[in-house]
A and B are shown apart, each in its own frame.
Chain A
Amino acid sequence: AQSVAQPEDQVNVAEGNPLTVKCTYSVSGNPYLFWYVQYPNRGLQFLLKYITGDNLVKGSYGFEAEFNKSQTSFHLKKPSALVSDSALYFCAATSGTYKYIFGTGTRLKVLA
């Protein structure tokens, strides 16, 4: 079965420090990979996507993600975390059918 895994339920990081939110996938073919952020009682906000090309993808709000095909990973990163980055982050993948397979989400808490 195809799946997306986010192994950490929560990540805590001090403001100003770099952050990483992990994601691995098990999807057939060449998947499209996405990161979304969700604030309480809100929908999903798109951060970035990997379709093809450069393995390092830059997205909104200073976030970036690195696609690693051999490790089937797509970790989300930011060089310097802000308190306002505290939210729920979802990794997702599609195999081209637009049926998104979501990870379970990782709650990011940035401490002042």
Chain B
Amino acid sequence: GAVVSQHPSRVICKSGTSVKIECRSLDFQATTMFWYRQFPKQSLMLMATSNEGSKATYEQGVEKDKFLINHASLTLSTLTVTSAHPEDSSFYICSAIGQGMNTEAFFGQGTRLTVV
């Protein structure tokens, strides 16, 4: 099956700094990528949808200036958490779909962000 890889798998950063999470499709071209956030013991909440070469579409309540999403190529999307605060600590997961993949998206392994 198609493989989506996230990096890093876990990161610790200081309050006020920014951190970038990468999501790569390894063996297919991802026309659309999705970013989710998962709070402890809760479900995954969609944050934004990004199409290659265009601006991301954010879900209601998600601060676009805080969570910067870039999808500059067909194999890479990045999520940058800017001026991170402890409440941004969470598990972030991306998923991707490609052309011809008309039944499911493929998920990355997730990134555990801890802001101290």
A-side residues, CB < 8 A to B, are 32, 34, 36, 41-44, 46, 49, 51, 90, 98-100, 102-105
Contact = CB atoms under 8 A, between A and B. Distances in A.
Interface residues of B, number: 26
B32 A42 contact: no
Contacts of A34: 104
Contacts of A46: 1, 104, 106-107
A43 B109 contact: yes
- Chain A: interface secondary structure? loop
Contacts of B9: 41
- Chain B: interface secondary structure? strand
Interface string B8-44: 0110000000000000000000001010000001111
Given A43-B93, A44-B44, 17 more contacts: A32-B103, A32-B104, A41-B10, A43-B108, A44-B93, A46-B104, A46-B106, A51-B103, A98-B32, A98-B34, A99-B34, A100-B44, A102-B45, A103-B43, A104-B42, A104-B43, A105-B41
A49 B104 contact: yes
